[in-house]
Structure 1
Amino acid sequence: MIPQDSIKPSSLNKPEGWGIRHLVVFLGFWGFAMSYAMRFNLSIAIVAMVKRNSSNIPIPVLPPLNNSLHHDDLLLSSSHYTYNNKSFSAEKACPIPVHTSGLFGLNSNPAAGGSSDEGEFEWDEVQQGIILGSFFWGYMCTQLPGGIIAQKYGGKWPLGLGLLITAVFALLTPIMARAHIGLLIAARVIQGFGEGLTTPAMHSLLSKWVPPAERGTLASITYSGCSFGTAGIMIASGYLIQENIFGGWPSVFICSGALTLAWFVLWVVFVFDSPEEHPRVGSDELYYIQRSIGDQVSKVKPPTPWKKMATSLPLWVIIVAHTGHTWGLYTLLTELPTYMKTILNFDIKQNSWMSAMPYALMCVTSFIIPPMADVFIKRKWLATVNVRKACQVISHIGGALALIGASYSGCNTTMTVILLTIAGGANGAAFGGFGVNHIDIASNHAGILMGVTNTVANISGFLGPYVAGVLINGNATLERWQIVFYIAAAVYFVDTLVFLLFASADEQPWNRACPTLPPVHNSTANLLESDYDDVVLGREAEQAKNYSSDDDIISV
């Protein structure tokens, strides 16, 4: 029977106001905020967990600065500098002034009391790099299975259960860390297994819920939760640790795990795999989504064309872009708090704020640039592929230039923080670039494509921190950190060049279950009124399927 609210819409225009698709995107935003909070909570916590061992370079403490010498003006461009006839190694570590100074009041004096260096674990830089990267060992293993599961069964439960698993082990992290370093690594690997399901599942949901004209905007809102969650956990961690809540650093894991459990309840209640299945979606919105997406997403799930995918140049281009993005972004995500601590000498609260700034800007950027990209596409000012390339240039070339600048800013804390903030913030534009390119080329297989690219890309997730750890192990100097920044910038340049030369936004022939059908241009205009009946009846068929036996379910 046709639902009571199924009244034929007066027009085919986008329904006004808040819709169920917006609710799905909102909960997706908070889901990814919690996902990244649990993924990178260790990046700040490890600063408080680890003792500052003898392998770190001794840091000179400057006397109070007068007007003739400002600490922010100490650029370590030569091998040594002299202050009050005392020579300091300019390429090893920044000096610590007794009094706070600088544009942000960034400089602290741990030597003057209240030091937060009293950690309880004696892990060297290589061990820390392994711990920080271990999450991605598990994460890359479940990317492809996550895409297959999401395509076959829908994205709701893979995403929800993946974050539930991660939350449980976040709560167990303090116990396992104190028991043995191997158990901590195991906990992080299992968390990676859980979170590996999330991005392919969300891509699958977006391909069913988001019309093409809103794709950049709503996808960017969803995935901006990543930067929001990262910034939020970094800021909160500083206060939780400084105020010794729940014993200090354990509170970082307890709070992020508990909040994710609360989110899981809301996700289960309010999210469904497709508009047809959702009991509360209005018919106007259902019709708008269905007719906008058109035949790009098949009602009968097509088989996965593995061979054609493996030989698809547009897919390989996305893999390269995604890998470059992951290397640069995760190098910052995992290593920036350590840099702020060991080189710029911020205390834990300052560290948390300064480390959060790039991701706060990234969140803002993702709310601005991808929606602007959608406007360019909708008004046909630029071809879709050119919009994707422009976003990629803003994201990665902008980030690369900022990283190179930061590598030369030395102990100018103000300039260093600004440049690193720009480097991280620029990544928000990528949500209008390669980030939605999977859906452009093959929306029927968006979840699997994201699984494929994320699997390859997240090799960088553990390689980046490991390489940084090897480079700075026992020699945490400005010169070594400069190499870390150079590598990330070079990767950005290479992946952008590949994307500019070979990227495509055209729907690929292998996206369709029946290759003889030509790609359909998405449009809500010039549709027959009988299409509306198809949508309503399609909803009835989808809801009826939920009560059918398992034998009736079509498999991939």
Structure 2
Amino acid sequence: MTSLMDSLEGVSSEKRESTNPQEEEGKKQQHQQVKRFCSIRYAMAIMIHCCNLIIFTQISSLSIAIVAMVNHTSQSNQSNVSSEGYPGATPDTAVPVYEWSPEIQGLLLSATRYGALISTVPSGYFAGVLGGKKIAGFSMLICSILNLLIPLAADYGLPYLFVIRIVQGLLQGMNFSALSAFWPKWAPPLERTQLSTIGISGVTLGSFIAILGGGFLCASPGWPSIFYIYGGIGCVYCIIWFSLAYDDPINHPLISDSEKEYITSSMTEQANAPSWSLPFKAMIKTMALWAILVGNVCRFWLISNLTTSLPTLLDNMFDFNFKKNGSLSALPLITSWVSMTLGGYIADFLLSKKILRLITVRKLFTFLGMFFPSLFTVLIPYVDSTTAIVFLILASSMSALCFSGFIINPLDIAPRYASFLMSLETGFMLISGLVSPVITGYFISQDATGWKNVFFLSSAINLLGMVFYLIFGQTNIQDWAREHRITHF
């Protein structure tokens, strides 16, 4: 009996000795793959980053150009073209200036949000089933062409400009949702946070470039150049996109066999595309999904007030001039871009080194990205102007850490349906972004303490979303998101 046990132990030890070197080599190879940034998957993340950047420069460009497009000395409800050039224009470079009321300007700026709200969820569903390359590419191409037509549409009249802005919003929603379809097939679990944040950070960088570059372009050669330049860049980039972007690593002609094997082998459960039918009943009953959606609504309520209302806040509370106002309004965007990128790297580092579990990483970054912005926001009314600006920048920057928390959580709980779920959370964000400025406008129109009430309410709602996610957030793949196979004996 003893000899039999000894022989069995010897066999098992031989197996361990024979398999361990292979396991170690596999782990070593995997570790090398994680560290290798010069790869096709990171190139895809950068391409998606550029796609987001271009789309959002086009969408955000009107918010800067409209300052030069409007005749502020004679505003009315008519859309007639004024004979005056915008301030600083010479007779040789004079561009048209329009007499649009503040209400018309607000509708023009918000038109894209209504368009995006319509297209975001359906396009996320179709991108998940059919792939995101063509949807993202064609939406970017059409949006770029429409951007080139904005100066002409403004001359023809407001109805034409409104149509272009609404259609651009539809295309923006399609593009953003389609880009989410790449991650279930391109981002290995240990690199998922970093790759996705690299891609989505193009949104903030694009808005930053639109605001910063738009000011210079308005000064010379004039506001139409904003739309021509950003639209032209988009048209050129579409050629690159259709040539080099692929829906999955299997069909990419430039990817190495080792990288292809690394990506596909690490994502066995999420490599399969979802069917045309969605498990709606199971989704609705999943608290982990509601935790993500509620978190998005609550976070974007605060962020919408910090970004959309920031120029008004700086003007009303601290009496900043326009030039300084524009620079300060752009500063939180670039700091958020840095925070988002670093947050993705740190999150994946903690996971790859097995310092923290996935659920701990998601909840940690959610806590950091929601608690401290709420704290900074509440303190703004009680500090001087310089400290208030610092708090605003810190709040926006810290909030970007949520992209390493609950925002990409759909990739964890339901990778097969990640495109649809991420478009769904974007839809909830857009609803929040449309409602919160209305409530903000109501508060600030009441009395001098209006901004305090805005900050208190925004902070409270943000904290509510944080607590809800910390309680109900999960990272395990939900049963309805798994591919069930029938085994025949």
- TM-score between both structures, scaled by the size of structure 2: 0.82
User: Quick check: 1:301–1:513 contact (8 Å CA) kept in 2?
Assistant: no
1:244 aligns with 2:190: no
Q: 2:131 aligns with which of 145, 154, 157?
A: 154
1:453 aligns with 2:431: no
1:421 aligns with 2:397: no
Q: What is the CA deviation profile of residues 237-283 of structure 1, one whole-angstrom value per residue up to 9, with x for unaligned ones? A: 22222x232x2x33333322222222222111110000011111110
The within-5 A match list for 1:113-192 is: 120-124=98-102, 126-192=103-169
1:431 aligns with 2:403: yes
Letter aligned with residue 189 of structure 1? I
- Return the alpha-carbon distance in structure 1 between the equivalents of residues 279 and 428 of structure 2: 19
1:394 aligns with 2:394: no
User: Residue 348 of structure 1: CA displacement?
Assistant: 4.5
Letter aligned with residue 333 of structure 1? T
- Return the alpha-carbon distance in structure 1 between the equivalents of residues 431 and 190 of structure 2: 33
User: Quick check: 1:406–1:419 contact (8 Å CA) kept in 2?
Assistant: yes
Letter aligned with residue 356 of structure 2? L
SS in 2 for 1:294: coil
| Range moving further from structure 2, 185-194 or 336-345 | 336-345
User: Residue 463 of structure 1: CA displacement?
Assistant: 2.3
Aligned twin of 2:416: 444
1:498 aligns with 2:468: yes
Aligned twin of 2:47: 27
Q: 2:175 aligns with which of 189, 195, 198?
A: 198
Letter aligned with residue 488 of structure 1? S
Aligned twin of 1:323: 297
User: Quick check: 1:151–1:204 contact (8 Å CA) kept in 2?
Assistant: yes
User: Residue 331 of structure 1: CA displacement?
Assistant: 3.0
**Structure 1 residues 114 and 157: alpha-carbon distance in aligned structure 2, compared to 1, 3 A threshold:** closer
Letter aligned with residue 353 of structure 1? S
**Structure 1 residues 369 and 294: alpha-carbon distance in aligned structure 2, compared to 1, 3 A threshold:** same
User: Residue 210 of structure 1: CA displacement?
Assistant: 0.8
Aligned twin of 1:371: 345
**Structure 1 residues 498 and 229: alpha-carbon distance in aligned structure 2, compared to 1, 3 A threshold:** same
User: Quick check: 1:296–1:443 contact (8 Å CA) kept in 2?
Assistant: yes
- Return the alpha-carbon distance in structure 2 between the equivalents of residues 143 and 39 of structure 1: 15
Letter aligned with residue 458 of structure 1? L
User: Residue 358 of structure 1: CA displacement?
Assistant: 0.5
Aligned twin of 1:381: 355
Aligned twin of 1:310: 284
- Return the alpha-carbon distance in structure 1 between the equivalents of residues 391 and 65 of structure 2: 24
Aligned twin of 1:81: none
**Structure 1 residues 19 and 405: alpha-carbon distance in aligned structure 2, compared to 1, 3 A threshold:** same
- Return the alpha-carbon distance in structure 2 between the equivalents of residues 129 and 481 of structure 1: 20
**Structure 1 residues 373 and 223: alpha-carbon distance in aligned structure 2, compared to 1, 3 A threshold:** same
- Return the alpha-carbon distance in structure 1 between the equivalents of residues 387 and 231 of structure 2: 35
Aligned twin of 1:554: none
The within-5 A match list for 1:47-126 is: 47-50=67-70, 52=72, 120-124=98-102, 126=103
Letter aligned with residue 138 of structure 2? L
Aligned twin of 1:351: 325
- Return the alpha-carbon distance in structure 1 between the equivalents of residues 317 and 68 of structure 2: 15
- Return the alpha-carbon distance in structure 1 between the equivalents of residues 294 and 73 of structure 2: 38
**Structure 1 residues 394 and 515: alpha-carbon distance in aligned structure 2, compared to 1, 3 A threshold:** farther
- Return the alpha-carbon distance in structure 2 between the equivalents of residues 420 and 324 of structure 1: 17
**Structure 1 residues 323 and 424: alpha-carbon distance in aligned structure 2, compared to 1, 3 A threshold:** same
**Structure 1 residues 40 and 327: alpha-carbon distance in aligned structure 2, compared to 1, 3 A threshold:** farther
**Structure 1 residues 341 and 157: alpha-carbon distance in aligned structure 2, compared to 1, 3 A threshold:** farther
**Structure 1 residues 283 and 178: alpha-carbon distance in aligned structure 2, compared to 1, 3 A threshold:** same
User: Residue 307 of structure 1: CA displacement?
Assistant: 1.9
User: Residue 207 of structure 1: CA displacement?
Assistant: 1.0
Aligned twin of 1:100: none
Letter aligned with residue 405 of structure 2? G
- Return the alpha-carbon distance in structure 2 between the equivalents of residues 272 and 263 of structure 1: 15
User: Quick check: 2:128–2:273 contact (8 Å CA) kept in 1?
Assistant: no
Letter aligned with residue 206 of structure 2? G
- TM-score between both structures, scaled by the size of structure 1: 0.73
**Structure 1 residues 415 and 47: alpha-carbon distance in aligned structure 2, compared to 1, 3 A threshold:** farther
User: Quick check: 1:199–1:450 contact (8 Å CA) kept in 2?
Assistant: no
Letter aligned with residue 287 of structure 1? E
SS in 1 for 2:269: helix
User: Residue 301 of structure 1: CA displacement?
Assistant: 4.9
Letter aligned with residue 191 of structure 1? Q
User: Quick check: 1:358–1:425 contact (8 Å CA) kept in 2?
Assistant: yes
Letter aligned with residue 227 of structure 1? T
**Structure 1 residues 152 and 345: alpha-carbon distance in aligned structure 2, compared to 1, 3 A threshold:** same
User: Quick check: 1:302–1:444 contact (8 Å CA) kept in 2?
Assistant: no
User: Residue 347 of structure 1: CA displacement?
Assistant: 4.6
Q: 2:251 aligns with which of 266, 277, 280?
A: 277
Q: 2:208 aligns with which of 206, 231, 235?
A: 231
User: Quick check: 1:130–1:462 contact (8 Å CA) kept in 2?
Assistant: no
Aligned twin of 1:532: none
- Return the alpha-carbon distance in structure 2 between the equivalents of residues 227 and 422 of structure 1: 15
1:489 aligns with 2:467: no
| Range moving further from structure 2, 199-208 or 127-136 | 127-136
- Return the alpha-carbon distance in structure 1 between the equivalents of residues 274 and 450 of structure 2: 54
Sequence identity of aligned pairs in percent?
28
1:289 aligns with 2:263: yes
Structure 2: 5+ residue stretches without partners: 1-24, 76-86, 90-95
Q: 2:199 aligns with which of 195, 199, 222?
A: 222
Aligned twin of 2:15: none
Letter aligned with residue 352 of structure 2? K
- Return the alpha-carbon distance in structure 2 between the equivalents of residues 169 and 323 of structure 1: 30
**Structure 1 residues 488 and 160: alpha-carbon distance in aligned structure 2, compared to 1, 3 A threshold:** farther
- Return the alpha-carbon distance in structure 2 between the equivalents of residues 178 and 341 of structure 1: 31
Q: What is the CA deviation profile of residues 72-128 of structure 1, one whole-angstrom value per residue up to 9, with x for unaligned ones? A: xxxxxxxxxxxxxxxxxxxxxxxxxxxxxxxxxxxxxxxxx989xx9743423x544
User: Residue 293 of structure 1: CA displacement?
Assistant: 1.2
User: Residue 337 of structure 1: CA displacement?
Assistant: 3.2
Letter aligned with residue 395 of structure 2? A
- Return the alpha-carbon distance in structure 1 between the equivalents of residues 362 and 169 of structure 2: 29
- Return the alpha-carbon distance in structure 1 between the equivalents of residues 88 and 460 of structure 2: 39
User: Residue 138 of structure 1: CA displacement?
Assistant: 0.9
- Return the alpha-carbon distance in structure 2 between the equivalents of residues 448 and 300 of structure 1: 10
- Return the alpha-carbon distance in structure 2 between the equivalents of residues 119 and 417 of structure 1: 32
User: Residue 396 of structure 1: CA displacement?
Assistant: 1.9
Q: What is the CA deviation profile of residues 424-479 of structure 1, one whole-angstrom value per residue up to 9, with x for unaligned ones? A: 11222011111210000010111011122222221123223344445557x8x864
User: Quick check: 1:129–1:468 contact (8 Å CA) kept in 2?
Assistant: no
User: Quick check: 1:29–1:224 contact (8 Å CA) kept in 2?
Assistant: yes
Aligned twin of 1:36: 56
Letter aligned with residue 437 of structure 2? P
**Structure 1 residues 250 and 402: alpha-carbon distance in aligned structure 2, compared to 1, 3 A threshold:** farther
- Return the alpha-carbon distance in structure 2 between the equivalents of residues 360 and 147 of structure 1: 27
User: Residue 48 of structure 1: CA displacement?
Assistant: 3.7
The within-5 A match list for 1:517-528 is: none
- Return the alpha-carbon distance in structure 1 between the equivalents of residues 468 and 192 of structure 2: 24
Aligned twin of 1:89: none
